[in-house]
Amino acid sequence: MKPSTIAIDGPAASGKSTIGHHLAQSLDYLYLDTGLLYRAVTWAALHRGIPIEDEAQISRLAQTLDIRVSNPTEDDGRQCTVYVERKDVTWDLRAPEVDHAVSPVSAYPVVRAALTQKMRAIAAEGDVVMVGRDIGTVVLPDADLKLYVVASAEERAHRRLLDNQEQGKEITYAEVLSIIKKRDRIDSNRATAPLRPADDAIIFDNTELSIEAMLQRVLHLVHRPIPRS
């Protein structure tokens, strides 16, 4: 029996999203990068003219906002389709203004609590690969399979540098490496849901693996028998 809920966590640029997306495609599961939900709340706040620093208003918004996620509805490179109040906002969530505002929104405790409930509701439907930074520890502590994806800081910086270059951004390897290490420190030491592997997570080091090799190893883990208590 395949695991119905798969939680994948890990630091920035570790490859968790790449692994999660390819795995979901192979299994015909829903792929959900949970960061999209925080972006959805941020987009909605900006769209409604709510100041990002207004924690109370944004918290109420997160509790009532209708956010839905489905498999891709368009063949335009999207990994899933995100609806806010029935409007397809998938690509709107990648707008620069959302990039600049999502960090403070994602730090608000009530927002995190509200979106955690939404994530659990999605997972309750089954057949989902959910990717984030606290999925196995907080969001889905009872997930059938938990992976904690890691790679060296140097390799992650190299990957992020290539991404930036493809997007036309001018930045040096040294700058990217510094950002990666700073992000690691912040994520690992934050008060709410610090970045760490769940006690029962499988540590998956992909520093020297190609995408195909990553996928084959993860599929091997997926098809292992699930221990029953």
Number of domains making up the chain: 2
Pair 204, 163 in one domain: yes
pLDDT of residue 177: 94
pLDDT of residue 185: 87
Q: Is residue 228 part of a domain?
A: no
What DSSP string runs through 65-102?
--EEEES-SSSSS-SSEEEETTEE-TTGGGSHHHHHHH
Q: What angle do CA 12, 16, 22 make, to 5 degrees?
A: 145
Pair 109, 181 in one domain: no
Pair 66, 48 in one domain: yes
Pair 136, 211 in one domain: yes
pLDDT of residue 224: 80
Largest CA distance in the chain: 52
Q: How far apart are CA 117 and CA 121, in angstroms?
A: 6
pLDDT of residue 183: 83
Q: Is residue 4 part of a domain?
A: yes
CB 161 within 8 A of CB 173: yes
pLDDT of residue 226: 59
CB 109 within 8 A of CB 12: no
CB 10 within 8 A of CB 149: yes
CB 82 within 8 A of CB 40: yes
Last residue of a domain, one of 94, 126, 158: 126
pLDDT of residue 227: 57
CB 195 within 8 A of CB 134: yes
Q: What is the pLDDT along the chain (229 residues), one digit of tens a residue?
A: 789 999 999 998 899 999 999 999 999 999 999 999 999 999 999 999 999 999 999 999 999 999 999 999 999 989 999 999 999 999 999 888 998 899 889 889 999 999 999 999 999 999 999 999 999 999 999 999 999 999 999 999 999 999 889 888 889 999 999 989 988 888 888 777 788 999 999 999 999 988 899 999 999 989 886 555 4
